[in-house]
Amino acid sequence: MKRQSRCRFLSRAAILTMLALPLVLGAQPSLDVAPGLSGMLDNYLSTVAKQEWQKRDALIAAIKTPAQVKARQEYIRGKLLEEIGGFPERTPLHPKITGTLDHPDYKVEKLIYESIPHFYVTASVYVPKNARPPYPAVVGVAGHSGDGKAYDHYQPVWVSLAKRGIVVLAIDPPGQGERFEYLDASGKPMAGSGGTGEHMMAGVQCLLTGTNIARYFIWDGIRGVDYLTTRPDVDAKKIGVAGNSGGGTQSTYLAAFEPRLAVAAPSCYITSWEKLWSGPGPQDSEQVFANFLKDGLDFSDFLIAFAPKPIQMATATRDFFPIDGAKATFAQAQRIFGVLGAADHAGFFEFDDTHGWSQPRREATYRWFARWLQGKDDDGREGPLKLDTPKDLRSTETGQVQTTYTNAETVQSLNAAVAAKLESRRAASRPRNLVAALRKDLALSGETAHPVAIRVGEISRASLRIEKIALQPESGITVPALVFVPSGAQPRKRAILYLNPAGKAVDAEEGGAVEQLARQGAIVMAIDPRGWGESAPPSIKKSGYTQSYQTAMRGILVGKPLPGMQTFDVLNSFAYLVSRPDVDGHHVSVYTKGNAAALGIYAGVLEPRIQRIVTDRAPQSFADLTQMKMHGDIAGMIVPGILRDLDLPDLIHLLGPRFHIEQTAKQ
């Protein structure tokens, strides 16, 4: 009766599907346990996200007074600052004009400043000639283009605003324009030429230190405002920000973080997470803040944080940032602006085209800035423009910061320095409760429950049998398992929990490592924690991002890092193993291959009954990962902020003699 009561979590249809798996005579028996799990993890995370959206919508709907708006704004800014890991120290900018381009009604000053010591920001300052200073100003932030600030869809904005009497500080983001950070010996980009590859490379490393690559983008912009306020030809009370796509992202962030900004005009970025979630899904690393949805935030919070100052959303009806989400976000934000008596300060412009700073959206931007920075009406007509070449706009000698300055920092090197400081801080704070810290970092709460376990089939091999088991550690999650049970007289046998990121079936073939261990007399249970093997996301790309990356980022957004969820599955699998009448619960080990070592270590620290944790190689520390110039796909290994509390060597030290490295899968 007890077993029947626990089975209620699995639907009858699901159980029947598992039991109906065909066995073709003469064919190799399938090692699959529960076909059709490839979308399971995303569905699970979508359910969690939906709950967060609903809670947040109720909170926003309850805001009725200016005092409530102010409280919300303080909450937003506090959480955003926490999520990006705070800002660096304000240090001297050391601004340097390296050249000037003269045009009839404006000039371009080629600027370099240091937002952080030796972190060189390349910029172009467009200065009007046909108006009287002090001028209003705009920080122009570039979207994902290899040319950065010099891209021919962005330059027209800088030039058109300068012709209208507005100073523009157009800056290159890290990884674009003159700031490529991953160059080979010949000076060619190694991580892609449009910015996204570089942002992803450094971005996942930043998560390990409890920061976000966005902090460097935002800080560059904040220091750009610092620079503008030092110029006698700029009206410091009339500074705005604008950008498209990745620049729309940066301008939206700056609106929330920089109180000195008077007006903002982000383009082709703002939507809602509910609409973005399933398609196209999480984007670049700077657009994924850890715990963003768990903390009850959404796109409209960036607008709310800026209220009641004027901000205009420029949108495209056929953008991959869903227009339905943009409209819903605007409606929600405009209502909050209305609570402050400033509903007209929330602007919305849409045009029926695709993603990009096309001329209609550029002209809407000119009208917005004319209204709020200059107090006048403007038809926004762009007119014919003469653009400079990227080469002519170079601020550096060689065209790249990395080849001009021998001491130039990168996001990776700055984050590596953060990791080193955290390591020193951890060393100084020993001893500490690593078990509690690990549980917190993995977002594990409560005790491990005994999972539902359904036996769905069996395969016979010489002197052993293979049980197909479907575990359900929590609602919506199935962990497929193969339990190799050797013949033998012992009523209770030692057991091994076997983990391979490539999937449980890889080493479970005849003569494979799992079978070899079983033939030595151990019951061996090979499992697919969620996201591996049978439940691995399909190997397709959406919008240039792998499905595995996007799944990991969805987990991070809702406060459920993938390694934490997988560790939960491992612990529940262990609980199942020790509950079996044929297993000696005092002699259960965990064997891991490759990157599964981290899960084995986590499980060993959290479950003292695990006798041994055996890996096939020494696991790489997370601090070492931050020191790597280039790395492979590590998104699925990321636990945001883990280096603030611990690293794998700390946990290995805690495990002591329970931890082993063996090059062969023998016990």
pLDDT of residue 446: 67
What superfamily would CATH give domain 82-421?
Answer: Alpha/Beta hydrolase fold, catalytic domain (3.40.50.1820)
User: pLDDT under 70 in the chain at which residues?
Assistant: 1-28, 446-448, 540-543, 663-667
Chain mean position to CA 477 = 23
Sorted by where each begins, the domain ranges of the chain are: 2-49+441-661, 82-421
Are 2-49+441-661 and 82-421 in the same CATH fold? Answer: yes
pLDDT of residue 118: 98
> Both tokens of residue 94?
């050391």
C-alpha to C-alpha distance for 247 and 317, rounded to whole angstroms = 18
Beta carbons within 8 Å of 356's beta carbon, 6+ residues apart: 153, 244, 245, 268, 316
Handedness of CA 373, 131, 267, 384 (dihedral sign): positive
Phi-psi region of 106 (alpha: psi -120 to 50; beta: other; left: phi over 0): beta
Backbone angles phi, psi at 422, to 5 degrees: -65, -35
How many distinct helices (H) and strands (E) make up the chain? 21, 19
Q: What is the 3-state secondary structure (H, E, C) of 25-58?
A: CCCCCCCCCCCCCCCHHHHHHHHHHHHHHHHHHH
Measured between alpha carbons, how far is residue 233 from residues 160, 217, 238 in Å? Answer: 18, 25, 12
The CATH number for 2-49+441-661, chosen from 3.40.50.1820, 3.40.50.2300, 3.30.720.120, 3.20.20.220, is: 3.40.50.1820
> Both tokens of residue 185?
């010996």
pLDDT tens digits, 362-416: 999 999 999 999 999 999 999 999 999 999 999 999 999 999 999 999 999 999 9
> Both tokens of residue 478?
């199935």
Cβ-in-10-Å burial (0-12, 13-18, 19+) of 270 comes to buried
Contact of 164 with 279, CB cutoff 8 Å: no
Strands ordered across the beta sheet of 659-661: 452-461, 464-474, 477-486, 523-527, 493-499, 583-592, 612-615, 659-661
pLDDT of residue 538: 83
pTM for the whole structure: 0.94
Beta carbons within 8 Å of 137's beta carbon, 6+ residues apart: 166, 167, 168, 169, 228, 234, 235, 238, 239, 240
C-alpha to C-alpha distance for 549 and 619, rounded to whole angstroms = 21
pLDDT of residue 430: 77
pLDDT tens digits, 119-167: 999 999 999 999 999 999 999 999 999 999 999 999 999 999 999 999 9
